[in-house]
Amino acid sequence: MDQFAIPKQTLKALNAIRTPIDYFGDTRTTDKIWPHHILCFTRKSRQETAAEPLSRNHHHRYVLVIPCKGNGKVLIDSRQFSLKCSEALLIFPFQFHHGYKFDRDQVLWLYLTFELDNGNSLDAIRLNPIRKLKKQDFAVAWHLVEAWSKKTKRQELAYWLGILLARLLCATGQHFPGGKKESGRVYHSSNLLLRINHYCMSHLQSSVTLSELSQQLGVSQSHMRALFRAETGISLGQHLRRLRLQKAMGLLVQSELSITQIAEQCGFDSIFSFSRSFRRFSGMMAKEYRKRFFRI
């Protein structure tokens, strides 16, 4: 056999490709997903997860969770997500997270923790962090597990995890909201929702108001707030505060900036306002948090 079967949709796309005018041109992208400092582990029982100190679940690394056996719920900040074996969930740095309410005593959940130099590349997943996995996604995940289990293949970890993250990032249209009653309904990602999050992430250093945000996006403030709460289960103002405080946590443990400078860079009008918000969010003062988790 001198050829292999090509899916009709792929064949149609191949036939639509035209000869380029410029053979030295290309399509450029600034987003690079290159994970490093990768750690792979599993949780195999309800008791094992419940016994883990909650203080560990509040750190500077990304966490990708893939249930292989058993369903359960994951708390991220104050949002609750139901996670099934056919799905994956991405947790961002400095988000408090804890798995609980498993549907059986013996489970098998795969955890992949890692760091990224370009954290903005995954921001499109932040608001709706659950993705439905396809057959090809599982195949990539199993290659990743094999690379971890065989020390001779550890250098392949970044390749396989990068591929998996890119596939999850491209899986638009299969997002699930948190903090809401389950209805069995699949929610589709809103372009406006992504624009809201992109603008918020790009202006954390300033005190972005909802009025300013609605003007920049060209939508009414009431529609913007209603859409955001309907699709995420939290208020837009609460989301903005969390983003600023999570950025502050990163600066506290990964920079030598003063607390006053960090408050300014995270859009707080005064050190008093920052200190009060930080203590409510993390349960400790900013100075105490830095002393406990400083990494430099």
Q: 225: domain CATH number?
A: 1.10.10.60
Number of domains in the chain: 2
pLDDT in tens, 92-133: 988 888 777 788 888 899 999 998 887 677 888 888 899 999
Q: What is the CATH number of the domain that holds 110?
A: 2.60.120.280
Residue with more model confidence, 287 or 20: 287
Q: Is residue 289 part of a domain?
A: yes
CA distances from 13 to 6, 18, 216, 288 (A): 11, 10, 37, 57
State whether 61 and 139 are in the same domain: yes
Note down the domain range covering 101. Answer: 36-170
DSSP designation for 86: T
Q: Is residue 114 part of a domain?
A: yes
State whether 109 and 204 are in the same domain: no
DSSP designation for 175: B
Q: Is residue 104 part of a domain?
A: yes
Q: Is residue 14 part of a domain?
A: no
State whether 47 and 113 are in the same domain: yes
pLDDT in tens, 201-227: 788 887 788 888 888 888 888 888 888
Residue with more model confidence, 234 or 138: 138
Structure confidence at residue 174 (pLDDT) = 40
Residue with more model confidence, 99 or 183: 99
pLDDT in tens, 58-99: 677 899 999 999 999 888 877 888 999 989 999 998 888 877
Query: Average pLDDT of the chain?
Result: 80
Please enumerate in sequence order all residues whose Cβ is within 8 A of that of 59, keeping only pairs 6 or more positions apart, or say none: 93, 94, 293
The last residue of one of the domains, among 170, 205, 224, is 170
State whether 197 and 155 are in the same domain: no
Give residue 97's Cα distance to chain centre. Answer: 12
